[in-house]
Structure 1
Amino acid sequence: MNLPPAAARTPTVRGCAVWYAPSDLTRLAEDRPAGAFDPADTSSFEALLIGAALTEAPERARAAGPVSRVTATAPPFLVPHGTADTIVPFAQGERLVRALRAAGGRVEFRPVEGWRPSVGGTAGGGRRALLLRDPRLRGPGGKGIIPASAVLSRPRGAMSHRAANLPQLLGEARRWFEDALFASMEAAGEQPVTTAQASVFAMLDAEGTTVSELARRIGVTRQTVHQAVHGLIGMGLLEQVPDPGSARRRLIRTTAEGQRVHERAQAVIALVESVLAERVGRAGVDAVRAALTADWGEPPLVEAP
């Protein structure tokens, strides 16, 4: 970005709401559980941001962290952060709050006990909407407090049947199963996972799989898989191990705890399928399975109407 000199810019930011964001890149490895984050990883989000692994460019990593840019003229901040966040550690929120307070800034810290970003939303399945109640954030005449809210999950519920074609219907069916699986696992006391994290589990080989191969199988970027994997490692469900076939690669595989959770999830899916059969008929479920497991051949090239 080509910004004018600081002296020529007019401050317009009246407040800032920071939802579980990294604040000090140089301390990420320290703040995450052992082995959950490799600062020498050149493909992490943080490395892509600064153009190098954090260990290769410590000054760039330091400059990229908000804590290094805090001043006494900072606008008021609202900093909500889940205490159980395994992707951006709770300690990162604490570091930002300490830096703002040390500089004399106004900050409201909102620890959310037991919460971590996931498809299930906040702990307990609800949604939270926070307001930064500071007069400087009000609109003209003191009206219009600016909300710092976020939609943390899409609503769970029955299939809408608004989808018009088969691919859309299949997508809705998958989301229906996922909603049932995630809600059932959380109700049973398991840690909530995101859709991306569940996809990683589904594509893992028993002996382990590389991040690149996982990304190819799921159809997403390596960075998306990295984020999902880092979260699962922090939860104790996955681990990184050396690849016997290459000294430069590492394999992602389940831990004993991860295998237990995966097997439990498979059992839940089987029960959900049984409930579906009771609702729509076993013959209908079997027909869907038969159609989906049949050989469809290569995707056809058709003439567009």
Structure 2
Amino acid sequence: MQLTGGSDNEITLELPHITLAGRLWGSPDKPLLLALHGWLDNADSFLPISEHLADYQILAIDWPGHGGSEHRPGSYPLHWVDYLYDLDAVIEHLFNQFELSPLAIMGHSLGGIIASAYAAAFPERVNQLVLIEALSPLYESESKAKKRLQNSFTDHRRYLAFKTKPASIYRDLSIAANARHKLTALELQWCELLTQRNMQSLDSGVCWRSDPRLKLDSPLRLTFSQVDALMQTHAVNTLLIAGNGGFPQLREAIPIAHRWFSQLQTIELEGNHHLHMGNAVNVADAIKRFLMA
């Protein structure tokens, strides 16, 4: 395998439908671990844990519209299922260029959701799966379908009305990082790390380069019966890592997860939804024990 990054660990993946940016850490003679970040994060969310996974080469992509990756074309609303096609194209690229298949995948939040759904459908493409604060596609009652579609149209109309207006410019990055810190309670140092990659520098300051459509309400969400049918007899060997201060819905769903997955280990560690950043040492230790078992 000769998968190499630039001097700053930056990489570019030219896929058939879009160009993705990312980061690559570790020696090319080590096993590859594909890392998939969460919603509104970017590849740098795996920088802290990469320092404790020296036995692996970690390829962390920026999803479309995040970090340095291209935005999806057009002005249509985004759909979560599109990420499955992105992941399939990444895996196909790695197979064609480097004969890397099946892969070990580490996914946080949205990245874990996408990886889990993909592995459920194509278990032959994924060797081992690590889910960090993630389990399955989100679902809700079918009774909410009309309201969700209405909300999506409201959001999209507002987006179209404002998309031609100049982007908001911040004097410096710290203002945007502090805003995210106050909104999400994510530690300030991690907000600064993530914000830096999601912004671009201008003569007058900095502005977001993330796709604004990422913040629009989804037009459609699956029902539980649909997710249940997808996840049944999930065959990929999987580790689920939950934070004791993370999303409580995830911890409550662990009994369902054991019914879905034929090979599942679960562990709860100290930390919030981004425990792979704030508790990188212990999360990395759990991942190493799982991957080397």
| TM range, smaller chain | under 0.3
TM-score of the pair, normalised by structure 1: 0.27
